[in-house]
Amino acid sequence: MCDGVRQSPIPLEYGKALYDPNLKPVSVYQNGKFSASENFTMENNGHTLMVSLPSCKYFLQLNGKKDGVFCIKQFHFHWGINSSVGSEHTIEGKAFPLEMHIVTYDNNLYPNFSEASKGVDGLAVLGLVFHEDRTIPVQNTMLYKMGVFLQKVDKVKHPMAKADLPAFPVTALLDVGSANTKFYRYDGSLTTPPCTENVYWTVISTSIPVRPEQLNAMRYIEYPTSENLRNMGNNFRTPKQINPEDVVVPRVVFRSWNPASRANLSPLLLLSIIILRF
């Protein structure tokens, strides 16, 4: 079900990515004024902690090879049972204890998320990785700026539990300072079945601090009884090959910063550039 030549996640490395000067900073925004009386929906769906947002009020802005504004459907997390693992993407060979995915769809091409998830170029996902930091003041962490998110985790401890989450300014989802100018971009897939290969991936290259107790709050959530572990963790897919041996058109990973000399590019990468341009 999850075989293919453009699967996600993948290992991300500066030296193996192609600089694209057309990639501009990533941003999130909302239509209309922020309303504190609005609710998001928080859910333990049995394999992750997910927060769903009201339909097409919040958006992800991407610029570059595929310009577009994408409607934010939900965001969810992947984490490890300890802080040595957890993220789905690796950066320079390093795994992180937590990765957040902001899942969006092209509401100009498709009437709803269900149709977009099956269609060509239907989805775009923004990935953010987190590193553990015991010294950072809690009020300076991104998770703290997401309103009462962490306080509500206990409400969805049990599998399939749902709870209202008071809305917070959507800009908190990308409160990473200048890091939104440094990212990787590639075409890939969903990381859970059916692993559809129609996802336009953006992964911020700079990790975000998270405190140990914030990580432990997520590890407190429970799996269904059918799982080997009681407490949720290690809910990540391991990185896949960027270009399997049977690939016909090589996949290229782009980066948004510090152009590299064309002379340093590998023959495979040069061939990929020619194919993409013509």
List, in order, residues 6 or more apart from 174 with CB less than 8 Å away: 26, 27, 28, 102, 126, 128, 180
b/e for 134-154, b at 16 or more Cβ within 10 A? eeeeeeebbbbebbebbebbe
> Strand, coil or helix: what is 90?
strand
DSSP 231: B
Angle at 243 between CA 182 and CA 119, to 5 degrees: 75
Active site annotation includes 47: yes
Please report where in the chains the tokens 């947002």 appear, as a residue.
53
Q: Give whole-number Cα distances, 176 to 15, 98, 172, 183, in Å.
A: 23, 15, 9, 12
Tokens of 181: 């100018």
Note the helical H segments in the chain. Answer: 113-116, 149-152, 212-219, 267-277
Which residue out of 47, 76, 101, 131 is catalytically annotated? 47
**Which residue type does 47 have?**
H
Using CA of residue 23, residue 66, residue 143, residue 168, what is the dihedral sign?
positive
**Whether 123 contacts 103, CB under 8 Å:** yes
**What is the rounded distance in angstroms from the CA atom of residue 208 to the CA atom of residue 144?**
12
Catalytically annotated residues: 47
